[in-house]
Amino acid sequence: MKHYRITAYRTALVLLFVATCLAASPKFDKFIPPAESHGKTLSGYGCDRMQIADSAAASKGGSYWSLLLWAQYGDDHKRYWQKTYDTFHVTIGHAVQNNGESAGGGGAIAPVATDSYDLTPMANACASWAAVVKSTLKIDGNGQKSKD
């Protein structure tokens, strides 16, 4: 009987821990811009991505980017508020293709290398933040009062 109680207790603790982890979402509380700044009301908000480093991360197939959150105020849309939300490791896809054929011999002119970045995690974080700002301040990204 004691073994059953200990097992039930451990199971309850594990389930509580898992439920807490699943319920946890990114905490945007400290990333809500003020509704008013410099005597002007919030007129819009959004996110910018900034690449930080590529050289050391390139050997691992990625680069580091920061997600910047910003808000603008008034009719002249001055950015009075900006914060760095987080740093993301973004994977890089490398591709090498030929740049066509020469007119005379028909051989390839030169290889062209291109890189592509998977910025999906940053886009998802920005969308989640924008949803929290919209529901908290009741304003959309274009400065319009939301109807919900």
Which tens digit of pLDDT belongs to each residue from 89-109? 888 887 887 766 666 666 667
Establish if 77 belongs to a structural domain: yes
Establish if 98 belongs to a structural domain: yes
Stretch 24-48: mean pLDDT:
85
Residue 111's pLDDT band, with cuts at 50, 70 and 90, is: confident
Beta bridge partners of 86: 67
Cα-trace Rg, the chain: 24
Establish if 46 belongs to a structural domain: yes
Of the listed ranges 6-10, 19-23, 77-81, 99-103, the one predicted with least confidence: 19-23
Helix (H) or strand (E) holding 66, with range, is strand 62-73
Helix (H) or strand (E) holding 4, with range, is helix 2-23
Beta bridge partners of 44: 72
Is residue 9 scored above 80 in pLDDT? no
Please give the pLDDT value at position 134: 92
Q: Which is more confidently placed, 148 or 70?
A: 70
Is residue 131 scored above 90 in pLDDT? yes
Establish if 65 belongs to a structural domain: yes
Establish if 78 belongs to a structural domain: yes
Please, what is the average pLDDT of the chain? 76
Is residue 136 scored above 60 in pLDDT? yes
Q: Which residues neighbour 94 within 8 Å (Cβ) at sequence distance 6 or greater?
A: 113, 114, 115
Query: In this structure, what DSSP letter does residue 130 have?
Result: H
Cβ atoms 119, 50 nearer than 8 A: no
Please give the pLDDT value at position 139: 80
Domains of the chain: total: 1
Beta bridge partners of 101: 108
Closest CA to 85 of 138, 145, 132: 132
Residue 18's pLDDT band, with cuts at 50, 70 and 90, is: very low
Beta bridge partners of 49: 67
The domain of 57 spans 28-137
Q: Cα-flanking dihedrals φ and ψ of residue 49, to 5°?
A: -110, 135
